[in-house]
Homo-oligomer: A and B are copies of this chain.
Amino acid sequence: MDRGAVVRITDVAALAGVSPSTVSKALNDTGSLRESTRARVREAADRLGFVPDASARSLSARRSFTVGLLSTDSAGRFSLPVVLGAENALVGGELSALLATARHDPVREQHHVRALVARRVDGIIVTGRTTEPREPIKVPMPVVYAFAPSSDPDDASVVPDDALGMRLLVEHLVGLGRRRIAYVGGRAEQAASLVRYVTLAAELAARDLAVVGEPLYGDWSEQWGRRAVEQILAGGLGSGSGSGSEKRDLPVDAIVFASDQLARGGCDRLRERGLRVPDDVAVTGYDDWDVMSLASRPPLTTVDMQLERLGQRAAELLIAAIEGDPARGVERLAPRLVVRASTLGDG
């Protein structure tokens, strides 16, 4: 590689035959200079490949034009798109993004927070692994929480609107004529499992329908999706029997899974039991994680939480806060229904 030293302002000044302060004025379009001088300086800067030192801008503006992206997620499944969306928006705003991944380690997070403060970042975006509320960080600059909201309602947070996502799924399934709908969640104590169930139950109730049986909770694996289907087919759904009163062969005509992984496992087991998706049982997922939703047989109708858009929105709120216009409270970002063959069939 052809690697020279960093080109300095004095190099440009020497080539153009002017003083360094004239170079600065010429490149920043300030001061009173002859146009021919400005042109000569610009040409010299171009020829040398001079890139102005960003710290000059920082010193004059008393800002670092740098934002911290603090992530607690090592796997990155959910926080990665949020981080990418935020980085994209920050770059558009001429800001740089300092990455800091804490991996569920409070000591490491504290270390990162101190380092970001020492760097005098203009603000921090905090992302999480789940949508559970988290303790706020204490720093002397604006903070926006993305995906995992702050437990302090006065802080600014952006989260996916899970209730809306489930409403979209219910409208879709009921519109297709499905009436006997069961629910399979992930871990019972997590917001992603609970909010989706509560909304499903409320939306069905608003249509004089009810969830078939009790909600089934387990973990977030495909294996649990398969096992849950066994329980549903065996009728092991608890005491409730849903709204259908006549006896049928199958206890359900649709299963709403709280994630694409669960739904994919569910589709596999339904097929292995000789049932057709969606003809016999329609299936929905959640997340639109392509390696699950597209690889599933059939591909999944699901909800895209728009995580990149969520990261972008967090960056927009942070930039506004840095410029003196902070937001407060939780903003819910609308998700998008993605319809595929697991509810509509191939036709």
| A positions within 8 Å CB-CB of B | 1-7, 51-55, 66, 69, 74, 76, 80, 83-84, 87-88, 91, 96-101, 111-112, 114-115, 117-120, 136, 138-141, 143, 150, 152, 154-155, 221-223, 261, 291-292, 295
Contact = CB atoms under 8 A, between A and B. Distances in A.
A335 B229 CA distance: 38
A17 B115 CA distance: 27
A98 B101 contact: no
Contacts of A80: 76, 80
Q: How many copies are assembled?
A: 2
A319 to B, nearest CB: 16
Contact of A117 (B51, B115, B119, B222): B51
Contact of A120 (B54, B120, B295): B54
A275 to B, nearest CB: 15
Contact of A118 (B51, B101, B138, B222): B51
Nearest to A289: B291
Contact of A91 (B3, B66, B115): B115
A295 B140 contact: no
Contact of A155 (B1, B55, B66, B221): B1
Given A5-B140, A54-B119, A120-B55, A261 B101 contact: no
Contacts of A111: 91
